[in-house]
Amino acid sequence: MTIDYITRPIVQIDGLSKEFVTGESSFLALDDISVTIHPGEMVAIMGPSGSGKSTLMTMIGLLDQPTRGTYLLDGKDVSSLGRAEQAHVRNEKLGFVFQNFNLLPRLSAQKNVELPLVYGRVDARERARRAQDALEAVGLGSKLNSLPNTLSGGQKQRVAIARSLVHNPALLLADEPTGALDTRTGGEIMNIFRQLNREQGRTIIVVTHDPEIGRQMDRVIGLRDGRLAENILHDYYGVEAQDYKALKVAA
């Protein structure tokens, strides 16, 4: 996909830091991070354990507030929103896919997918229609009434993807989305993400340890010790940047 960098960034982060304080000690999980992500990009956040990947995803996903710095989401400064405001913007602008699916076990696939629309106060008939369309789009049109415990791992993740997209978010965030899946099923899930990016222009950010997933992205944002690390592919994963087609490793 060709990215138009003239358009307004979907994510614009400047000087973002996150400090955790426990008693008399403190820990800087993110240190002066500046990142710009444009509509239609597929971006991986990569780095070793403890590098700050999950913390950065938490900041982008409005699940916590930064200690310092600014964050513009789709042009709006969301750096210091209160919890209620965060929840509103999150439900309107963001879709989430997690490693362990986070499906409610007593709800059918359709009812799980409807949840963001329930929070958005969409009427029942419209919720059902949009949830069914979303499940059909990920190949689960025949599983509308299935409970999560009757689905395979790959099917559960497809339900999670449908749920993340049912309210048409500006940005899709996926945290280790293939981590609980075997290699073949993980490949199928990544194919869905690529299809969503190519055919619908979805902006997708994936947190991953897997350099093979990084290879499929437009760009890799490398982190080490809470700071941007441009050489993360070589230094940590042992992969040369030129082995990644047109991949750029930068913020």
Q: What is the pLDDT of residues 194-226, one digit of tens each?
A: 999 999 999 999 999 888 888 888 888 999 999
E strand map for the chain: 11-22, 25-37, 42-46, 68-73, 76-77, 94-98, 171-175, 204-207, 219-224, 227-228, 248-249
Structure tokens at 66: 């930064």
Residue 229 within any structural domain of the chain: yes
Q: Could you give the CA distance from residue 30 to residue 19 in angstroms, rounded to a whole number?
A: 7
Average pLDDT of the chain is 88
Q: Report the pLDDT value the prediction gives residue 145, as an integer from 0 to 100.
A: 97
Cβ contact 132:207 at 8 Å: no
pLDDT band at 239 (very low <50, low <70, confident <90, very high): low
Residue 69 within any structural domain of the chain: yes
Residue 6 within any structural domain of the chain: no
CA-atom Rg of the chain in angstroms: 18
Cβ contact 38:5 at 8 Å: yes
Which residues sit opposite 18 in a β-bridge? 30
* Residues spanned by the domain of 21: 11-249
Report the CATH number that the domain containing residue 174 is assigned in CATH: 3.40.50.300
Higher pLDDT, 24 or 128: 128
Q: What tens digit of pLDDT does each residue of 70-101 get?
A: 999 999 999 888 889 998 999 899 999 999 99
Residue 1 within any structural domain of the chain: no
The residue with tokens 């919720």 is: 127
Cβ contact 151:143 at 8 Å: yes
What count of other Cβ atoms lies within 10 Å of the Cβ of residue 177? 28
Domain total in the chain = 1
Residue 45 within any structural domain of the chain: yes
Residue 66 within any structural domain of the chain: yes
Residue 52 within any structural domain of the chain: yes
